[in-house]
């Protein structure tokens, strides 16, 4: 009975597995070992591979370890400092984020008396639902969790849910800084969400579909950044605003309101809320690469087979995020009124121009 | 300096954006780092920077001037065979007033600038510890020096290492001696005589007899060759008629 179930499962997994010629002999060898073969088959099952390994959770974890260190190090270099160094000195402090994570893990998470206790503890975990669900819809070549022609719209819809959890976190903290931070987050949400959605809609008009496969296929000659440069610019700026990075780091302004909505968190809960913005940045950068930089188009290597597409998507995403990290050390923070003025005048105007460009270009193409 | 009005034209704004992006990428690739990795890099200090205070016990005359002049109240006089100073480095502000006020040059500075103490109690350096020169353990791989002009601020790194032997910086002492400016104002209270650690002040006996005859040379202060110029009498004198004067 159990053998039949396992055999059925292996058959299901193997029918839709990643074909990677480089590790094929190893896979063939492992598939003959009982119990281990079901694990190997599961890992190489395309939906599982896309959601859990690449571009899913494991790569997301590695990216978090990398980007926290890289951003601190780059900012330090530009500001004439050294940056994290003493943890693992031979590799220039590269495991600093891991050390910080371990410290958060063993630190006491304090829930203060005035906080709304259930929400205060639940919301950092609930916030991961809208952040991690888009991974199921982001395809990387053949590796895809849930294949749907409305993937781009779904990703945008999930991204729009994230600020609600952050505002709720600020409310549950019951602290004046957290309150100011949540109000700022709400204002920023109104400021960036409209130009962002219009920019995405312009690209959907351009490609004629919300399907990432269609979008990537249409970018085989020219990337979307050249097809619609205005939408590219608007998306870039709204991405900075949405992930509260420095020119628009208004909700979390360290120097003014001490990390805003997350001011009361400590221990592991702080570790969870701290990476929210980075994970949102990862999802948005994946969408950015799919819409504007040709997705998983790249030089095809026969040896890697199906792994080509996730690898190219990942490399492009990391490059985009690494370039975005430098913006942090270049600009000072805008005031909330300046940001709202810019976004409601210039950004919306640009996004409407981008929409017109998208409609016209979509009609020509 | 007057702040000029910034041009807000789009071309000027764009130029500033390009400038900042250029500078950021330049610094990201070749950073002009100005922080010092302390134990691995030793900063070259200027020669006249004030450092650890050393005591030469044989010269000390226990005049207490160092303890009295200390603005941070860091010097305490402890009794051994005589009173000798000890410095509390939790309070010391390295003004070196004590070194400059020392009349005999018993206290002197040194070229030791980075001191490390194991505990707060160890920072109260005793007289016996002040009498011997400490040693520096070498941890540095290179020497760095700040190069500061009006336009530029950068750090110069060199491979050659500094000599780490701790040296006393011998202060230049000009011999001084107490001197009475207005002998006619002297009260004859003899406080100067009592305070003098070297019995250098001699008061000659003076009496006026019933016949109106003056016996002796009078209430005249006589500073003998024993005076080392510690200035205690100057501080003590109620009429403020004593001063310190340099002698050749």
Is B127 among the domain residues? yes
> How are beta strands B142-148 and B41-43 bridged, if at all?
parallel
CA distance A28 to A44: 12
Residues on chain A touching B37 (C-beta within 8 angstroms): 82, 85
Left if phi > 0, otherwise alpha if psi is -120 to 50, otherwise beta: which for A80? left
| Token pair for B95 | 């003004």
By CA distance, what is A78's nearest residue in B?
A: B27
Residues on chain A touching B21 (C-beta within 8 angstroms): 330
Is B4 among the domain residues? no
| Number of compact structural domains in chain B | 2
Per-position DSSP letters for B149-204, written without gaps between them? -SS-EEEEEESSPPP----EEPPP---EEEEES-GGG-----HHHHH-TT--EEE-
Query: From residue A181, how far is each of A148, A159, A250, A253 by CA, in Å?
Result: 36, 19, 8, 8
Residues B180 and B203 in one domain: yes
| Token pair for A85 | 């160094």
By CA distance, what is A323's nearest residue in B?
A: B25
Residues B188 and B138 in one domain: no
H-only helix segments in chain A:
2-15, 24-31, 36-44, 46-48, 57-78, 96-106, 117-126, 128-137, 151-173, 176-207, 212-218, 224-227, 229-242, 254-257, 267-274, 276-292, 308-325, 336-342, 348-364
Q: How far is A90 from chain B (nearest CA, A)?
A: 14
Residues B134 and B241 in one domain: no
Give yes or no for a contact between A336 and A184, defined as CB atoms under 8 angstroms apart.
Answer: yes
- List, in order, residues 6 or more apart from B53 with CB less than 8 Å away: B87, B92, B96, B98, B99, B107, B108, B109, B110, B130
Is B71 among the domain residues? yes
Domain containing residue B144: 41-169
Residues B151 and B219 in one domain: no
Residues B45 and B128 in one domain: yes
Residues B98 and B217 in one domain: no
Domain stop point among B127, B142, B169: B169
Q: How far is A230 from chain B (nearest CA, A)?
A: 17
Domain stop point among B169, B184, B204: B169
Domain stop point among B169, B200, B218: B169
Q: What is the pTM of this model?
A: 0.75
pLDDT tens digits, residue range A167-214?
A: 888 888 888 888 888 888 888 888 888 899 998 888 888 888 888 888
Residues B113 and B131 in one domain: yes
Residue A80: which of B25, B33, B37 has the nearest Cβ?
B33
> In this complex, do B20 and A78 lie within 8 Å of one another by their Cβ atoms?
no
Residue B33: which of A82, A329, A330 has the nearest Cβ?
A82
Residues B203 and B141 in one domain: no
| ipTM score | 0.72
Residues B213 and B98 in one domain: no
By CA distance, what is B21's nearest residue in A?
A: A330
* Domain containing residue B232: CATH number: 3.30.70.20
B205 versus A206: the higher-pLDDT residue is A206
Residues B151 and B232 in one domain: no
Is B9 among the domain residues? no
pLDDT at A30 over 70: yes
Residue B32: which of A80, A329, A331 has the nearest Cβ?
A80
Note the pLDDT of residue B214: 66
pLDDT tens digits, residue range B13-53?
A: 899 889 988 988 888 888 888 888 878 888 888 878 888 88
Instruction: Give the H or E element holding residue B214.
Output: strand B214-215
Residues B143 and B224 in one domain: no
By CA distance, what is B18's nearest residue in A?
A: A330
Residues B118 and B196 in one domain: no
> In this complex, do B34 and A80 lie within 8 Å of one another by their Cβ atoms?
yes
Using only C-alpha atoms, chain B has a radius of gyration, in whole angstroms, of: 29
């Amino acid at each position: 009975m159990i053998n039949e179930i396992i055999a059925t499962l292996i058959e299901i997994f193997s029918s839709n597995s990643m074909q990677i010629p480089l590790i094929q002999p190893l896979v063939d060898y492992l598939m003959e070992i009982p119990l281990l073969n079901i694990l190997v088959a599961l890992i190489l099952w395309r939906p599982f591979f896309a959601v859990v390994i690449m571009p899913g959770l494991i790569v997301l974890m590695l990216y978090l370890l990398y980007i926290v260190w890289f951003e601190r190090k780059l900012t330090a270099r530009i500001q004439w400092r050294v940056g994290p160094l003493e943890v693992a000195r031979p590799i220039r402090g590269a495991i600093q984020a891991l050390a910080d994570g371990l410290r958060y893990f063993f630190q006491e998470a304090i829930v203060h008396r005035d906080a709304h206790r259930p929400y205060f503890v639940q919301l950092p975990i609930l916030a991961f639902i809208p952040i991690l669900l888009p991974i199921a819809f982001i395809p990387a070549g053949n590796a895809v969790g849930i294949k749907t022609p409305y993937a781009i719209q779904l990703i945008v819809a999930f991204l729009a849910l994230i600020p609600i959890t952050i505002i709720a976190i600020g409310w549950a903290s019951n602290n004046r800084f957290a309150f100011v931070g949540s109000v700022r987050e709400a204002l920023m949400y109104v400021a960036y969400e409209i130009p962002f959605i219009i920019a995405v809609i312009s690209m959907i008009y351009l490609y004629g579909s919300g399907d990432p496969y269609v979008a990537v296929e249409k970018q085989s000659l020219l990337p979307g950044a050249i097809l619609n440069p205005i939408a590219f610019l608007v998306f870039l700026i709204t991405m900075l605003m949405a992930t509260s990075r420095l020119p628009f780091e208004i909700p979390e302004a360290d120097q003014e309101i001490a990390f805003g909505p997350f001011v009361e968190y400590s221990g592991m809960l702080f570790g969870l809320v701290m990476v929210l913005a980075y994970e949102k940045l990862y999802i948005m950068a994946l969408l950015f690469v799919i819409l504007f930089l040709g997705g998983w188009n790249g030089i095809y290597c026969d040896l890697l087979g199906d792994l080509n597409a996730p690898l190219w998507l990942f490399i492009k995403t990391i490059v985009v995020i690494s370039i975005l990290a430098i913006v942090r050390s270049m600009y000072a923070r805008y005031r909330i009124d300046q940001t709202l003025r810019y976004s409601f005048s210039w950004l919306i105007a640009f996004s409407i121009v981008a929409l017109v460009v998208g409609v016209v270009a979509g009609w020509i193409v | 300096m007057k702040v000029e009005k910034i041009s807000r034209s789009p071309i000027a704004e764009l130029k500033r954006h390009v400038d900042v992006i250029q500078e950021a990428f330049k610094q990201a690739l070749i950073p002009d780092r100005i922080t010092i990795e302390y134990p691995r890099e030793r900063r070259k200090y200027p020669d006249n920077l004030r450092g650890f205070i050393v005591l030469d016990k044989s010269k000390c005359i226990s005049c207490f001037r160092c303890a009295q002049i200390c603005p941070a109240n860091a010097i305490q006089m402890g009794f051994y065979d005589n009173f000798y100073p000890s410095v509390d480095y939790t309070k010391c502000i390295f003004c070196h007033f004590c070194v400059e006020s020392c009349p005999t040059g018993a206290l002197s500075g040194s070229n030791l600038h980075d001191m490390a103490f194991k505990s707060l109690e160890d920072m109260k350096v005793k007289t016996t510890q002040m009498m011997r020169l400490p040693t520096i353990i070498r941890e540095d791989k290179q020497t760095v020096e700040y190069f500061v002009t009006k336009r530029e601020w950068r750090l110069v790194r060199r491979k050659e290492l500094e000599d780490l032997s701790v040296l006393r910086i011998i202060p230049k002492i000009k011999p001084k001696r107490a001197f009475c400016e207005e002998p006619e104002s002297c009260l004859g209270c003899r406080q100067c005589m009592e305070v003098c650690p070297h019995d250098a002040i001699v008061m000659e006996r003076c009496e006026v007899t019933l016949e109106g005859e003056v016996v002796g040379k009078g209430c005249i202060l006589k500073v003998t060759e024993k005076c080392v110029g510690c200035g205690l009498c100057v501080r003590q004198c109620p009429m403020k008629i004593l001063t310190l004067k340099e002698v050749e």
